[in-house]
Structure 1
């Protein structure tokens, strides 16, 4: 199995796990504070990952350039903006719609990468991207719209617009991360990805942490009082990001994000086996469509 495929599958698993744990934090602190813990506690985990990689695999760190740091800042800011837009879509009472349209990120990333990075791939991979995104949309909207007219009307909801904006921000974030890893001169793409993880998490801690200190100073002590649960979220976030960044360093962004749609399968499995919720036929059908799309992406790679 290619490195980028394994890394992307693990990224989906870690992200689903982190999201489940982060829901607990949202009952203890504000949305901004819950977001900051991902980066704050992710930095030491990222440093540990780099140290372990150097000890086990070897290699040397690359010297950052000004352009590299710019790409890192843009990638980190893009993730923060995308997350905030997604939360704004939830505030419009459109959790499913907002989430669904944010998942168009794979298609948006494919088009942007084609124009600005020259990343092209075969027709089968394009078809796989479309199928996997379509399956995700179906899973998110099944039972909520009953016709194409209702589906079209849903795209005009504020939650859908915020979701599309979130997808665009996440797509730009992924492309900036890929550009950043390519900017480093080291020969090991995985090590470059891990280095970039540490730099971006540090920048995000500074960016969103400064915002939190200025706008919600009362929330800052909670970041440290909740260190037990916050550290778990930060660790899973760092592991997930390490896998995403590794995928971006080894393969085109659009393909990584298309395969990353399997995240929704992990969500369904978590719901079924841990929360003991019953899966509907539409869930099974949508999951099969997502898997079919991922297979087409891999075949067309």
Structure 2
């Protein structure tokens, strides 16, 4: 169980890479908020099925209690993730697919800084080196396309997305730490996952139902693709939330940068985008950074 967070992180990275690919496809016919809701609409029933199955196969007599602080974390984390996803979709439209993902990967460094400064988190010297090396690797991956069409707007959207994702990840972990009455990290993460998805899904449905019903119609017209986005998003969140309940967020997110490898492969073979030489160096550094944080 000591290294189970690694398996959950790899699963999350792999599924998130596919989720981003499907989101890019969906964004051609559905607006930003519809693509954001697509991550959640089928995720809610999947989360309910998951927590029911977990308690069926791994029952516990512990009764879960939700403190006001827990709900504060859930609401802020859920809102931040919605904004992060919306910015990510906008980023896809500013740059090509691979760079869009790469710029938002500032999340790991931002999570490390925020966690240490505001949440009394602690990272070893090796872990800090791995996080920083991972950030430099992302920079190399972005330079692989020579910043074609790069603009300050792209940078702001990318950093903004990374910051919102970092806040989400840190508060998800804080929410999980509030559920000390539950026996395992997996049980704690399952409740946090259900809580976040429920808040997000209900909020988005109410908003779009009141102000943008045509978006719901557009999603219905691409139901199959919407389901693919939801399923991959749910599996990714399941992996992230569980891993982050086990170990520090910057560690998880640095290892999770292996997602870039999956994203670039999808970019090359699914979207037929060519990879530059600098990206090979970037990928090598991502692997080294991942080894460092595992070692740390």
TM-score scaled by length of structure 2: 0.90
Within-5 A mapping of 1:64-83: 64-83=66-85
Unpaired runs of 5+ residues, structure 1, are 147-153
Partner deviation per Cα, 1:77-126 (whole Å, 9 max, x = no partner): 01111222333445555876664432111111111111222111211110
Confirm or deny: 8 A CA contact 2:94 2:154 kept in the other structure. Answer: yes
Distance 1:132 1:6 in 2: 19
1:40 aligns to what SS in structure 2?
coil
SS at match of 2:40: helix
Q: Which residue number corresponds to residue 15 of structure 1?
A: 16
Aligned: 1:251 with 2:253: no
What CA distance in whole angstroms lies between the structure 2 residues aligned with 1:299 and 1:283? 24
Query: CA contact under 8 A between 2:176 and 2:188: conserved in structure 1?
Result: yes
Which residue does 2:144 correspond to in 1? Answer: 142
Instruction: State yes or no: 1:213 paired with 2:209.
Output: yes
1:200-255: CA deviations, max 9, x gaps? 11111122222222331222234445433322221211111010000110000111
Alignment of 1:161 with 2:156, yes or no, is yes
Per-residue CA distance 1:157-187 (angstroms, 9 max, x = gap): 1211221122111111111101111111212
2:86 equivalent in structure 1: 84
Aligned CA-pair RMSD: 2.4
Cα distance between partner residues in 1 of 2:206 and 2:74: 18
Following superposition of structure 1 onto structure 2, how do residues 1-301 of structure 1 map, counting pairs within 5 Å?
2-59=3-60, 62-92=64-94, 99-144=101-146, 157-184=152-179, 185-274=181-270, 279-300=275-296
1:145: how far off? 5.2
8 Å contact kept, 2:9–2:255: yes
Kindly tell me: are residues 80 and 275 of structure 1, through their superposed partners in 2, closer, same or farther at Cα, counting changes over 3 Å?
closer
Q: Which runs of 5+ in 2 are unaligned?
A: none
Q: Cα 1:293–1:39, aligned 2, differ >3 Å: closer, same or farther?
A: same
Q: Decide which moves more: 169-178 or 55-64.
A: 55-64
The answer on whether the counterparts of 2:144 and 2:275 sit within 8 Å (CA) in structure 1 is no
SS in 2 for 1:39: coil
Instruction: Tell me how many residue pairs correspond in the alignment.
Output: 293
Does structure 2 conserve the Cα–Cα contact (< 8 Å) formed by 1:41 and 1:235? yes
Q: TM-score, normalised by structure 1?
A: 0.88
Change (3 A) 1:159 1:98: farther
Cα separation, 2, equivalents of 1:145 and 1:223: 32
Rounded to whole Å, the distance in 2 between the matches of 1:143 and 1:76 is 33
Whether the 8 Å CA contact 2:5–2:246 is kept in 1: the answer is yes
Counterpart-to-counterpart distance in 2, 1:140 and 1:118: 31
Conserved? CA contact 1:71–1:177, under 8 Å: yes
Query: 1:43·1:202 contact (CA, 8 Å) conserved in 2?
Result: yes
Separation in structure 2 between the aligned mates of residue 96 and residue 209 of structure 1, nearest angstrom? 30
